[in-house]
Structure 1
Amino acid sequence: MQFWRKLWVFGWKEALSCVFPVIIFASLAVTKVVQVPYVPRYDLILMICIVAQVAMVVFSLETLDELKVICLFHIIGLVLELYKVHMGSWSYPEPGWSKFYGVPLYSGFMYASVASYICQAWRRFDLKITGWPGRVLPWVISGAIYLNFFTHHYIGDYRWILIVLLCVIFYKTQVYFKVEERTLRMPLLLSFLLVGFFIWLAENISTLLGAWRYPDQEHAWQMVHLGKISSWFLLVVISLIIVAQLKHVKGQRDRKEYVISGTQQPEYNSESIKRES
């Protein structure tokens, strides 16, 4: 009985953490069958995403700090989208007023939804990370991963080398999360892979609903290649590293403010990152 209760609590927290991604998928599905006169589908999806984002902050489903992180990922995602569409990696065939160089602005929200999930899961599961490999290496590897998305069109794809380096850098790193009163753990690398796999499943649904198309889906939909899991794995790495580093910086800043004000320092369980000595 205890197992099923904990499974239910875990599933419920996961569902709450996925509110924003679910809203995006729902908007893709609804706008596929319901059309609003004189409003292109891509623009309608963008309006839904903006309203949903504002509502999540107003109803305290997201904090202002989380919103800042999400906006950062919106920019990171849009830059990548502009480049990839220009290079012909995928396309957005439908018309829209909010398309910029062939990229609808709602596409940035799909990347932002990954950051939204990570921020929400971090808070709801009271995440802790141990064995974090210092301050510099995570930024270096995330920068190299992001650059590889651009440079592989010219100098080759080094994703597998990057994945090996990730395994070396993060092999000791563990993530701890709470389900009710019990604390569980898993290797951080496994969490990267699991999230990447579920994003790949979501990508199949998104392309089926016409969110975008890969070149081999122009004439008829087919399953997204399994190799894309590695791309999402790497994107999740970038997302979690940025969120973790920003939470660490915020934790340090808040601790300094409490020391200066002379008030009691709060606990930072959900934002703690224990580094390797």
Structure 2
Amino acid sequence: MSSVAANISFRRKIVYAVLQLTFFAREMALSCIFPLVIFCSLALTEVIPLPFIARYDWLLLIFLITQWWMVKAGIETIDELKVICLFHIIGLLLEVFKVYMGSWFYPETGLFKIADVPLYSGFMYASVASFLCQAWRRLDIKMINWPHPSLVVPLAIMIYLNFFTHHFLYDLRWMLLLCVILIFLRTSVSFKVRSAAYQMPLILSFIFTGFFIWIAENIATFFNAWQYPNQQEGWEIVHVGKVSSWILLVIVSFLIVASLKRIKSAQQT
């Protein structure tokens, strides 16, 4: 009897784990609507030439319509839209500087460009904010042992500025990553899958997200969203060293969203 009961208990655990994983995957997929639209649009417009306007301008139009639809359908809130617009501006400024410095370039023509940077590029940064905001709400994310703002805000500013200053001064990325480890060593992220709560170290979530964005970057460059200098003669895999840059970008993005969420929560109490 004990063996039968043990088998039933084991099966229930397996079924429960599958249900939890399925629900988690569904919520994550819904949180990725904007990034998914971006990748599908990049692929389709590369394979199927669209008439009347340049491909980069089509991408801008598609992303604007997608953003309008997500707010209209209630998938995103007005507050989340404000955060996404902030990231669009932050990302566009970074793109203009990086293209000017020759870090990468946009090989195709387009009417809606600023200093050789198509306006649609800001949406790629905005999609990261969209994912964070969506996942935050859908999984009821909470921070445990969140550091004081006097540490978080300067760190976020320094990480963002380093994307610019490392072209002229010493690259501080490894020092900044060490600061991240020291400041957030005790910080965990709590999230809910149905009624069950889970936790994971915040630093680990930074690493996972940065790695997956690096994979996404390889897909994007394959479809000519932009190109690195070594990809002019043909597509090559993006150097794995870029993972560290994406981890830093994820960190500064997360710190901005988390800080804004805490301010909003404080205003409501």
Q: Give the TM-score taking structure 2 as reference length.
A: 0.94
Gaps of 5+ in 1: 256-277
| Deviations, residues 228-266 of structure 1 (Å, cap 9, x unaligned) | 1110100111111111111111111122xxxxxxxxxxx
Tell me, what secondary structure is at the counterpart of 1:12? helix
SS at match of 2:166: helix
Aligned residue pairs, count: 255
Aligned equivalent of 2:3 = none
Matches of 1:15 and 1:36, distance apart in 2: 28
Letter in 2 for 1:91: F
Match of 2:43 among 19, 23, 29: 29
Partner of 1:11: 25
Is 1:94 aligned to 2:101, yes or no? no
2:63 is equivalent to residue 54 of structure 1: no
- The correspondence of residues 104-119 of structure 1 with structure 2, limited to 5 A, is 104-119=118-133
The residue type equivalent to 2:187 in the other structure is T
Alpha-carbon distance, 1:194 to partner: 0.6
Distance 1:4 1:252 in 2: 37
Give the structure 1 partner of residue 252 of structure 2: 238
Q: What is the aligned partner in structure 1 of residue 52 from structure 2?
A: 38
Does residue 172 (structure 1) correspond to residue 155 (structure 2)? The answer is no
Aligned mates of 2:50, 2:248 — CA distance in 1: 37
Taking the aligned partners of 1:191 and 1:252, their CA distance within structure 2 comes to: 25
CA distance in 2, matches of 1:118, 1:136: 23
- For the aligned residues, what is the CA RMSD? 0.6
Q: Deviations over 1:91-132 (max 9, x none)?
A: 001000011111000000000000000000000000010111
Query: Match of 1:89, SS?
Result: coil
Which structure would you say has the larger Rg? Answer: 2
Aligned 1:1-277 pairs, distance under 5 A: 1-255=15-269
* SS of residue matched to 1:39: coil
What percentage of aligned pairs have identical amino acids?
A: 54
CA displacement at 1:38 relative to structure 2? 2.3
How big is the shift at 1:159? 0.2
Q: Deviations over 1:187-217 (max 9, x none)?
A: 0001111111110000000000000000111
Letter of the structure 1 residue corresponding to residue 25 of structure 2:
G
Higher RCO (Cα < 8 Å, 6 or more apart): 1
**Paired residue type of 1:177:** F
1:34-90 per-position Cα deviation (integer Å, ceiling 9, x unaligned): 122221000000000000000000000000000000000000000000000000000
TM-score w.r.t. the length of structure 1 is: 0.91
Q: Distance in 2 between matches of 1:37 and 1:245?
A: 43
Separation in 1, partners of 2:237, 2:156: 28
Where does the alignment leave 5 or more consecutive residues of structure 2 unmatched? 1-14
Please give the per-residue CA displacement for 1:106-165, whole angstroms capped at 9, x wherever unaligned.
000000000000000000000010111111111101100011100101112110000001
Amino acid at match of 1:235: L
Distance between the aligned counterparts of 2:74 and 2:222, measured in 1? Answer: 32
Cα drift, residue 181 of structure 1: 1.2
SS in 2 for 1:153: coil
Question: Which letter maps to 2:231?
Answer: Q
CA distance in 1, matches of 2:162, 2:149: 21
Amino acid at match of 2:194: E
